[in-house]
Amino acid sequence: MQEKLPQILERRRTPAVFLIVAIVVLAAVLALNIFSPKRSVNEYCKVYLEEKSRLSLMSKPSNPYPSGLFNVDVDDAGQVASSLSRLDRVAPHEIEPEVSALQKLYQELKDDPSRAVSISLSGGSLDDNLASWTASHCKS
């Protein structure tokens, strides 16, 4: 009962492939934990100031999409949605739901500008609350 060489090699290769896959998955998980942004007030404020500066460059009082949080008026709601998306990744747990909800509203506004009135009614208090929280926690 002599086994054929390819069958012997196949049996030996299977554990090696499994081990390699396991190492790659472990490395990916570790890399995500090491390199992913951490939720904290300091990280939030850092990203906030970067995004406020970026949005300020495109702000004009005549632009149709205001943001109380960033204190800007932009012509593309998607720009504010993008900034809020970056903030959402680092927002402390206490305000993350509000940041996420406001980001979704600006994204909806970008996707369907005809809903501006209804979206602004539901987003106004979120925007005001985040602006107040940010002013009390971040130094400009």
pLDDT digits (tens, 9 = 90+) for 27-68: 776 666 666 678 999 999 999 999 999 999 999 999 899 999
Q: Report pTM.
A: 0.73
Half-sphere exposure of 55 (CA within 13 A, CB side): 29
Judged by DSSP in three states, 82 sits in helix
Q: Residue 5: pLDDT above 70? A: no
